[in-house]
Amino acid sequence: MTVRFPDLNTWHRVNDWPAFRRAYPIAACRATMGTGEVDGYWFDFVAGCRNYDVLPIGYHRLRPDMDPVRQVAHYLRIVGPSIAFALDVETTQGAPDPDMVDAGHFVDELARVTGRDRSHVLSYLPRWWYDAHGGGRRDLQGTRLWASRYKTPIDWQPYAGFPAIEIMQFSDEWPITGVGLGDMNEYRGSLDELKVLLGFKLDTADKQWIEGALA
């Protein structure tokens, strides 16, 4: 059993929510970057998720030249405590060196402030980026690895100290129902298993959690 879901941003927006919901019970969207940037589509995305019962994942793109504590504060100010959390680690923008700076510190601060365990945080850490810039660091261990590979066969072997790849982004030009072409991801398991992995409530509590994120 597998669950496929897209991730969106200001360049890839839902234009047909009823069709989108029939295809995807869960979806991701870029929310923030650094200490001040907010994706132009984030609030519309979360409102659509609330209205059409789609479970939202909000991801923050790490800026290695900015204080991780301030980045967490900005991220939570925008997404609230009830969204499924994900950290996008694939940039060296502004970094004093090419290493994966303060990714672990970001997750530690996120866990401290929210009380959420590291095991409910996704780390989008593409293999090509980690090989080039990760420096062998393993400071994201304990989170869940979200990898990417756009070639077949897909290599599901983990890296960076992770025991497994939980989610694989397998295409950046996949036909997304209600959107167009964009990023598509796969989780090898059931929807309920994915909900538990991300820390979502199950069944009747799902909608209340989404609404809580907008309070």
What is the amino acid identity at position 200? F
Q: What is the mean pLDDT of the chain?
A: 89
Q: Does position 38 have pLDDT exceeding 70, yes or no?
A: yes
Domain 3-213 homologous superfamily, CATH: Glycosidases (3.20.20.80)
Q: At 202, is the pLDDT very low, low, confident or very high (cuts 50, 70, 90)?
A: low
Which tens digits make up the pLDDT trace of 87-127?
999 876 655 555 556 689 999 999 999 998 999 999 999 98
Strand pairing partners for 73?
Answer: none
Which tens digits make up the pLDDT trace of 75-88?
999 998 888 999 99
Q: Does position 206 have pLDDT exceeding 70, yes or no?
A: no
Q: Which two tokens stand for residue 185?
A: 């991801």
Q: Where are the domains of the chain?
A: 3-213
Q: Does position 207 have pLDDT exceeding 90, yes or no?
A: no
- What was the pLDDT predicted at 21? 97
Average pLDDT over residues 45-73: 94
Work out the percent of the chain whose per-residue pLDDT is above 70.
88
Instruction: From residue 152, give the alpha-carbon distance in Å to each of 6, 170, 214.
Output: 19, 9, 39
Cβ pair 21, 54 in contact under 8 A: yes
- What was the pLDDT predicted at 210? 54
Neighbours of 8 (CB within 10 A): 23
In our burial notation (b when 16+ CB lie closer than 10 A, e otherwise), range 102-111 reads: bbbbbbbbbb
Q: At 185, is the pLDDT very low, low, confident or very high (cuts 50, 70, 90)?
A: very high
